[in-house]
Structure 1
Amino acid sequence: MTNGTQWRSWLDNDHWFNDLPASLQDSLLTGMRQRRFTPGKLIFQKGEPACGLYALLDGSLRFNDVNQQSKWLSPVVTARPYWFGEVSLFDDRPRLRDVFAADQLILLHMPQAPLDQLLKDQPRYWRYFGDLLKRKLGLGVPLPDQMTLLPTDERVAFRLVMLAQGYGDMDQSVRIISRVDLHSQRCLGLVPEVVDRVLEGFAERGLLRREHDFISELDIERLRKIAQHRLTLAGA
């Protein structure tokens, strides 16, 4: 049994993978490599450049600093495979989390360079990765070249939801984000003064709290409703 055949059997019950066109399935199976991690090993680090798409086949992840392991929450049980890393396709920022193995892990990994090339060669595949992110955010995801067509409030709300829930149910960390991470030319395309004005409005409505260089997201559901727009609804 070849790796591709074995991996296809592991992915056979995954709704997202099964909805992909056969050509995209084949490209992922050809480009992915199996990786194994022992407990506590770093998968990728906050601030590192985007490093591709992952499918968690076995084991659990942690989204905390390795020095804070005693404060980690219990791993969330979710369906396998669990896909993560696709946020970087819709972002121009480095990785936003430290991601570690909570126990013995088996992952499939599609590196960033071939993934970028695949989307360059086949732009029609963008929508499928948007569908993957949509499942985690609970709202439609516009294509990267449509992001800055959203109205200002929707753009900022979308970015806040992406930062808080881009790793879905697996990430149960506190919803406090850095203002530095908020700014993204691809997702926002707004000068800092405009972003600050929107944040001030959200704070007055009780959606978030601003504290020096950090933002506490207080009401994800209302931010998600603001982030809904005709562009994202059209892709729903």
Structure 2
Amino acid sequence: MSIAKLTPLDQLGWLAEQPKEFMNWASEIGRWRRYGAGQFVYQAGDPSDGIYGLADGSLEITFPLVAEEPVSVYRAEVGFWIGDAAELASVPRIVSLMAATESRLLHLEYR
């Protein structure tokens, strides 16, 4: 995958601010994933498997508070990245991530 194939993430958000060498690395290891509206990318408690960048669609982030009932805490738009906290700390996910609409995400797996 060339840097051009990272569009729009090479032009906005966290990835756009990285050095060209890092973007080249991301274009080599990154894998595009598609999710339908209402489909979970991951759930709280799941093991970390890398980070995700939103290229198309929107995401809903929920946090399980009481009796496993999730509370929506954020609605993410294109250019948003998530997953770094669990990945860098080597801990399970503390939030759930769901596609609010049909979405396309770039998955960067560290391992």
By the TM > 0.5 criterion, same fold? Answer: yes
The 4+ residue runs of structure 1 with deviation greater than 4 A are none
Q: Give the letter for the 1:76 counterpart.
A: R
Number of residue-to-residue matches in the alignment: 108
Give 5+ residue unaligned stretches, structure 2.
Answer: none
Q: 1:9 to 1:63 in 2, by over 3 A?
A: closer
Structure 2 CA distance for aligned equivalents of residues 89 and 6 of structure 1: 26
Identity %: 25
Partners of 2:20 and 2:110 in 1: how far apart?
Answer: 21
| Structure 1 counterpart of 2:24 | 26
1:82 to 2:77 alignment: no
In terms of fraction of residues, the more helix-rich structure is 1
Q: Rg: which structure is higher?
A: 1
Partners of 1:9 and 1:102 lie apart in 2 by 21
TM-score by length of 2: 0.77
Greater RCO structure (CA 8 Å; 6+ sep): 2
Match of 1:58 in 2: 56
Alignment of 1:110 onto 2:108: yes
Q: What TM-score, normalized by structure 1, do the two folds share? A: 0.40
Aligned counterpart, 2:11: 13
1:50–1:112 CA contact under 8 A, matched in 2: no
| Structure 1 Cα separation of the partners of residues 97 and 31 of structure 2 | 18
Residue pair 2:49, 2:87 contacting (<8 A) in 1 also: no
Q: CA deviation at 1:107?
A: 0.5
Bigger strand fraction: 2
Residue 36 of structure 1: aligned partner: 34
Shift in CA distance, 99/12, structure 1 to aligned 2, threshold 3 Å: closer
